[in-house]
């Protein structure tokens, strides 16, 4: 039975209302979008058509270390360095969520990875928010009610978590609903960013922490204690499912592969 035909209580699973809390913006681009944006910015790709690009991600995303896994996303991040690219990917991200029946979503992404085109941290957040709102409006026009908030991610191997925390708080009430810590895990415990988490606690601002794949229990403990995370976000290697594309997040159960998405990102 095709996945779109699976039903619960007589209703298609795709049509049931859902909440998506762990999705990464740079892990959910449509292959055709990557091709078109790459052509605009002169970025070389490992394939010349959408089908081939999707196959490349499927073939290369599994196996190896977390660090090897993260390197693959230089392709998607590379086409998200302009305002146009950020607005478009965010808009399509929301539309794809709505098509899967999601009524509330949170999209996490690292603003510091999108500055090579000359945009500032505030400008990239503003661009993504514009795309989110355009996607919500487009979904509403099709009778699909959805609202999406941003989680701003700081990369744990860099030294600017406090800056990203302040950026997130400055956008409170304007689309940003939380802070996230992610990236290479081994050797970069959340305790190294205690100043950021202290600030977030003082501001009563929600935070999540990726933990448990690259550094084991020590990382999880630090996420819960130093990061004050109400729950650590453990990651696990995703599994291929016949007839489905890759999940946008690498967080295990509930991360379904939405049509057109290239692949996951932890």
Q: Which residues are catalytic?
A: 213
Q: Which residues pair with 7 in a beta bridge?
A: 12
CA angle 96–67–80, rounded 5-degree value = 40
For the record, the structure tokens of 15 come out as 């049509």
Q: What is the DSSP string of 48-109?
A: SSHHHHHHHHHHHSSSS-HHHHHHTTHHHHHT-SSHHHHHHHHHHHHHHHHHTTEEEEEEEE
Q: What is the DSSP letter of 172?
A: B
Beta strand ranges found along the chain (DSSP E) = 7-8, 11-12, 18-24, 102-109, 147-155, 176-182, 207-210, 232-233
Q: In this structure, how many other beta carbons lie within 10 angstroms of the beta carbon of residue 216? A: 12
Look at the block and give the residue holding tokens 């205690």: 194
Question: What's the CA gap between 109 and 40, in Å, rounded?
Answer: 22
Question: What's the CA gap between 212 and 199, in Å, rounded?
Answer: 24
């Amino acid at each position: 039975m095709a996945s779109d035909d699976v039903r619960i209580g007589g209703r298609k699973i795709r049509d049931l209302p859902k909440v998506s809390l762990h999705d990464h913006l740079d892990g959910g681009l449509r292959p055709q979008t990557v091709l078109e944006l790459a052509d605009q910015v002169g970025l070389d790709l490992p394939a010349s058509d959408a089908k081939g690009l999707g196959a490349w991600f499927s073939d290369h995303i599994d196996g190896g270390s977390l660090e090897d896994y993260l390197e693959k996303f230089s392709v998607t991040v590379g086409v998200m360095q302009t305002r146009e690219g950020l607005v478009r990917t965010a808009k399509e991200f929301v539309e794809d969520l709505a098509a899967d029946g999601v009524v509330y979503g949170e999209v996490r992404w690292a603003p510091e990875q999108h500055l090579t085109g000359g945009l500032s941290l505030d400008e990239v957040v503003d661009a993504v928010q514009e795309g989110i709102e355009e996607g919500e409006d487009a979904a509403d026009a099709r009778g699909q009610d959805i609202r999406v908030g941003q989680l701003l991610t700081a990369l744990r191997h860099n030294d600017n978590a406090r800056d990203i925390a302040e950026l997130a708080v400055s956008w409170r009430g304007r689309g940003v609903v939380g802070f996230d810590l992610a990236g290479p895990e081994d050797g970069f415990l959340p305790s190294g960013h205690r100043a950021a988490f202290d600030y977030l606690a003082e501001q009563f601002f929600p935070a999540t922490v990726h933990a448990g794949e690259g550094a084991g229990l020590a990382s999880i403990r630090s996420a819960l204690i130093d990061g004050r995370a109400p729950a650590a976000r453990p990651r696990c290697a995703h599994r291929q499912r016949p007839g489905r594309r890759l999940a946008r997040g690498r967080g295990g159960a509930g991360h379904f592969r939405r049509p057109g998405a290239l692949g996951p990102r932890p």
